Chain A
Amino acid sequence: GAVVSQHPSRVICKSGTSVKIECRSLDFQATTMFWYRQFPKQSLMLMATSNEGSKATYEQGVEKDKFLINHASLTLSTLTVTSAHPEDSSFYICSAAGTSYNEQFFGPGTRLTVL
């Protein structure tokens, strides 16, 4: 399957700082990228869907001004958690899809801990 990378894999930050997470599709062009959040012992919750070159579509209840998504190219999407607070601590996972939605390839995830 296709390879998707995320960076960093783990980040610890102080409350009030902003954190940027990168998601890259290494061997295919991702027309669509998805950002998920996973709390302990819970399943993945879709946060937003982004298409290259256009604004992201956020799920209900997800603050677009807090979770900034940029999909600048067919291989890179970034999620910036602005003014992070302890309740934002979670496992953030991205996935990428090509021209078909039928398969999403997931990145390894980023563990965010806000102190």
Chain B
Amino acid sequence: EDQVTQSPEALRLQEGESSSLNCSYTVSGLRGLFWYRQDPGKGPEFLFTLYSAGEEKEKERLKATLTKKESFLHITAPKPEDSATYLCAVQAGSGGYQKVTFGTGTKLQVIP
């Protein structure tokens, strides 16, 4: 069974204090790893897709990296508006049905 584990569950940072969120996964036939941001009471907002080990993607203060077992979401000099829950998801399988499994998320709070 596919498993996605995110750590830490919650993270509190001072504004400007860089850190990383972790997403560990155990799947058969990884097709893609996704990062989403979710604000309270809203649907997830797509951030990145990573396909293969060694791949990196950046967007403003966020940078996502991927290895064969885990992914990191690096947040550089965060601002209060970066406060949200960050979800990791993996897409695995073969053929026409490729299930996406979500982790439980990391709740990030950035304090001014």
- What A residues does B36 contact at CB under 8 A? 106
The complex places the Cα of A44 from the Cα of B101 at a distance, in Å, of 8
Q: Which of B42, B102, B103 contacts A109 (CB 8 A)?
A: B42
How many residues of chain B get a CB closer than 8 Å to chain A's CBs? Answer: 24
Interface flag for A8 (CB, 8 Å): no
Main secondary structure of the interface of A (DSSP, over half): strand
The complex places the Cα of A93 from the Cα of B42 at a distance, in Å, of 9
The complex places the Cα of A6 from the Cα of B98 at a distance, in Å, of 24
- What B residues does A57 contact at CB under 8 A? 97
A46 touches B99 (CB 8 A): yes
- Spot the interface stretch: A61-69, A72-80, A81-89, A97-105: A97-105
Q: Which of B45, B51, B104 contacts A106 (CB 8 A)?
A: B45
Closest B residue by C-beta to A111: B41
Closest-CB distance, B91 to chain A (whole angstroms): 6
- Which B residues have a C-beta under 8 Å from some C-beta of A? 31-32, 34, 36, 41-46, 49, 51, 87, 89, 91, 97-105
Contact sample, A vs B, 20 pairs, CB 8 Å cutoff: A6-B43, A43-B87, A43-B103, A43-B104, A44-B102, A45-B102, A46-B99, A49-B97, A57-B97, A91-B41, A93-B44, A101-B31, A101-B91, A102-B32, A102-B51, A103-B46, A106-B36, A106-B46, A108-B42, A111-B41
